[in-house]
Amino acid sequence: MKAVHFSKPGGPEVLKVIDIETPTINSDEILIKVKAAGINRPDVVQREGNYPPPESHSKILGLEVSGIVKEVGKNVKNFSVGDKVAALVNGGGYAEYCKANKDVCFTIPENISFNEAACIPECFFTAWSNLIKRGNLKEKQKVLIHGGTSGVGLASIQIAKLFGSYILTTVGNQEKVSFCKKLGVNKIINYKEHDFFDVIKESEIGGINLILDFIGGSYISKNINLLSDDGKLVNIGFQNGSKAELNLMKVMLKRLTLTGSTLRIRSNSFKKDILEDLRTHVFPLLENGEIKIYIDSVFNLEDVVKAHQRLEEGKHIGKIVLNFKD
C-alpha cells in the first residue's frame, strides 16, 4: 500500500509517499480502506520530531480517518466488511489502509461525506473531552476558545453554543473574524491587531469561566488573569512553548483549576465513553445540519507536502483533508 513516510524530522519537504506492507489486525481491530484522513497540528509536531507515537503504534502520521471496512477481527460484532466508518487512531492515517480498535470506530452519520467524516474524530473528541469532561462546561458560562477557526476551535465553538455559552475567540486575520461572526461568536479578537488580554480586561465582560488554549507561552499568565473565581484553564497544546512565569497566588485566591490533556495516549475505554457522548449529543446535529464540518481544502495523498504547508501558513479556516483516490 502507499503511505506517507519521513526518515528524519524536519519541514513538510521530508514527507514522501512510499510503498509499505498493509497492516495486519488483531481480534479487536478493523482494517479500513482509507478514503480520507484529517490533518492536525499533532501531525506537524510529530513530523518535527517532538511528538513520538505511543509505543507499539504506527509511526505513520494521521490520527483520524474515514473509509470502508475491509476486514474485521473475530471479536468485532458491530461492523461488517463494506461498512462506511470513521475512526480515531493513534497513528497510521496517512496510508491507503489503516487499522483501528473497534471501540474508537463509528458508522459515518447520515448526510456526511468521507471527507467530512475524516474531520470528526480528532476535533470533536478533543473538543468534547476538554470542554465537557475536563472543563465541566455549564449552561450560560463565558468561554474563551483560542484559535477559533482551527478544526478543534470550530468544533468547540459549536459545542459551546449548545450550552448557551457567551463565546469569545482569538483569530489571526479579518477573514477569520468575519467567519466567526457568521457562527454567532459573541466576541472575536484579532490577536495580530489587539492584545486579547487588554480587549477583554477593558470590556464589561468580566471574568471568564473556562478557557481552552493550545497556544501556551505568554498566553498562560494572561489566561489565568482573565479567569473568574473557580475558573478553569484547559491547555491542549503549546504552540508558543510550555514554559511561563506565573503568579500562583491568583490561582489560590481565585480557586482556579489549571489542567490539560492529550487524547492520543488515553485508553480506548476512555475514548469509547467520549464516542458514546458524541453519538448522543453531536451526531444527530451533524445529520440535521445544525452542527457543521468546515473544510478549508482537500489534497491528494501525493500532495501531502502542500497540505502541511497549508496548515503551517496558518491561513486556513477549518480542516485540511487528505483524499485517497480509488
Q: Which H or E element spans position 286?
A: helix 283-288
pLDDT digits (tens, 9 = 90+) for 57-107: 899 999 999 999 999 999 999 999 999 999 999 999 999 999 999 999 999
Amino acid, res. 284: P
pLDDT digits (tens, 9 = 90+) for 281-294: 999 999 999 999 99
At the topology level, CATH places domain 124-260 in Rossmann fold (3.40.50)
Beta bridge partners of 138: none
Distance (Å, whole) CA 44 – CA 264: 14
CB atoms within 10 A of CB 28: 15
Amino acid, res. 90: N
In the 8-state DSSP scheme, what is residue 108? Answer: P
Domain boundaries, the chain: 2-120+293-323, 124-260
Beta bridge partners of 235: 213, 260
pLDDT recorded at residue 300: 97
Pairing assessment for the beta strands 319-323 and 187-190 based on DSSP bridges? unpaired
Distance (Å, whole) CA 70 – CA 96: 11
Distance (Å, whole) CA 59 – CA 18: 14
pLDDT recorded at residue 182: 96
pLDDT recorded at residue 325: 83
CB 153 within 8 A of CB 130: no
CATH code: domain 2-120+293-323 is: 3.90.180.10
CA distances, 309 to each of 189, 218, 318 (Å): 25, 25, 15
DSSP code per residue over 15-68: -EEEE-PPPP--TTEEEEEEEEEEE-HHHHHHHTTSSPPPTTS--S--SEEEEE
Pairing assessment for the beta strands 187-190 and 166-171 based on DSSP bridges? parallel
Which portions of the chain are predicted below pLDDT 50? none
pLDDT recorded at residue 54: 86
Distance (Å, whole) CA 310 – CA 200: 30
Beta bridge partners of 65: 37, 87
Q: Which residues lie closer than 8 Å to 314 by C-beta, 6 or more apart?
A: 172
Distance (Å, whole) CA 80 – CA 30: 9
Regarding pTM above 0.75, the answer is yes
pLDDT recorded at residue 133: 95
Among the listed residues 70, 71, 75, the one whose alpha carbon sits nearest the alpha carbon of residue 28 = 75
Nine-digit cell at 253?
Answer: 485566591
